[in-house]
Amino acid sequence: MYFLRCKSKETFDPVHKYHFDMNCVKCKSEHKVSVKGSDLFQFNQGKYIQDAFSYISEGLREMMMSGICDNCFKEMFPEEDAWECEIDFSERSMSWIYLNYLSTIK
């Protein structure tokens, strides 16, 4: 995990936290993230990042894992909408035939 190799500071007031300073490996932009000590412990014990740090945005969690900021990630991997295709439900299309077949199954 990228964030574990970055500069960090530990604080205890009022809650035990770790503060990480990260730079995007692509554009070099600066990002900061703070996590609770107990959550970092759970993550290090094998809890998934999205479960351990659910209060951190998806984009920032990606940065924590890969070192690539949200903007660079979106630039590298365009929106999924661009890859979607429409399903043809007109009569005699494969989709229409399949749906009609499903309606006959009890």
Q: Identify the domain containing residue 44 by its residue range.
A: 2-80
Rg (CA), the chain: 22
Structure confidence by residue, pLDDT tens digits, 42-71: 999 999 999 999 999 999 999 999 999 999
Structure confidence by residue, pLDDT tens digits, 72-93: 988 888 765 545 555 555 555 6
Residue 99 lies in a domain: no
What is the model's pLDDT at position 97?
Answer: 59
Question: Is the model more confident about 96 or about 73?
Answer: 73
Residue 105 lies in a domain: no
User: Mean per-residue pLDDT for 3-22?
Assistant: 96
- Spatial CB neighbours of 84, under 8 Å, sequence gap ≥ 6: none
Please report where in the chains the tokens 């009569």 appear, as a residue. 91
Alpha-carbon span 101 to 70, nearest angstrom: 43
Residue 100 lies in a domain: no
**Count of the separate structural domains present in the chain:** 1
What is the model's pLDDT at position 13?
Answer: 86
